[in-house]
Copies of this chain bind each other. A is one copy, B any other.
Amino acid sequence: MTTSQLVEQIQLKKSFLCIGLDTDLEKIPRHLLDDEDPIFAFNKAIIDTTHHLCVAYKPNIAFYEAYGIVGWKALEKTITYLNENHPEIFTIADAKRGDIGNTSTRYAKAFFENLQFDSITVAPYMGKDSVEPFLAFPEKHTILLALTSNEGAYDFQTKLIDGQELYKKVLETSKTYKNSENLMYVVGATKAEYLRDVRKIIPDNFLLVPGVGAQGGSLQEVCKYGINKNIGLLINSSRGIIYASKEKDFAKVAASKAAGLQNHMALELKKMK
């Protein structure tokens, strides 16, 4: 999917919501455990009730990998279901991969070619030749970790390098990578005021913003500092939507939570006019 197709969807749906499919067998409603594939059954139910309210889904790959082959099958079924029934949806493999050149190409093939995701999250620590193999795929997007929403972000990401925080160094250096127009960035919502500085370095790129809701970030603050002329934001919510109810009505309750966020987003988009 191209960036302009994504922007079109955002305008159409008045939503820049991404729903995180962090599907955990210990947290999904008990009645689904009788299903042949409870992980996929849960995902399908969530997708069926929420797809008109969001523009993206983001399975975190750890949740699938934790179940071995069973998990990979559920992941394959989920992405196939999305691509076949909702090709207008932007799909994100939240995998946080990254390795030396040839090996990153393997990861890129796994997620871009075999599984047909539109994008993947990538860790920047190994630098240029670990990121560029992902950028080489046209119409695919590499979402680089810049400033994450966890406590550990302060260990290294906010430390000063040449008078500049490491995450800003990551933003600036990555702009010089080949095909850097295919970059998006993870910037956590728990540090919304940082978004102003982020936008000075990368005014145009899309940001994937976790941490709204469960992790305490404010949607309004994120929009205030992060929105650009193309909107340029994907706000992720996982637990706050998919685990809002553990009863039989879970998919309906998830939709109402998603609708709440979408309403809020529609208001923010109106402000831009």
Contact = CB atoms under 8 A, between A and B. Distances in A.
Contact of A156 (B69, B97, B115, B125): B125
A259 B126 CA distance: 31
Interface stretch (A5-13, A35-43, A143-151, A201-209): A143-151
Most chain B beta carbons < 10 A, residue from A131, A151, A155, A156: A155
Given A60-B99, A62-B103, A114-B68, A125 B128 contact: no
Nearest to A145: B125
A150 B129 contact: yes
A107 B157 contact: no
Given A152-B130, A162-B159, A62 B97 contact: yes
Interface in A16-49: 22
Contacts of A115: 68
A199 interface: no
Contacts of A162: 159-160
A173 interface: yes
Contact of A103 (B60, B114, B151): B60
A69 B72 contact: yes
Nearest to A130: B152
A38 B169 CA distance: 43
A161 interface: yes
25 contacts: A62-B99, A62-B103, A62-B106, A63-B103, A63-B106, A66-B106, A68-B114, A69-B73, A96-B123, A96-B126, A100-B148, A100-B152, A123-B126, A125-B125, A125-B156, A126-B145, A126-B152, A128-B151, A128-B152, A129-B151, A155-B173, A156-B166, A156-B173, A159-B162, A166-B166
Interface of A: 22, 60, 62-63, 65-69, 72-73, 76, 94, 96-101, 103-104, 106-107, 109-110, 114-115, 123-131, 145, 148-157, 159-162, 166, 169-170, 173
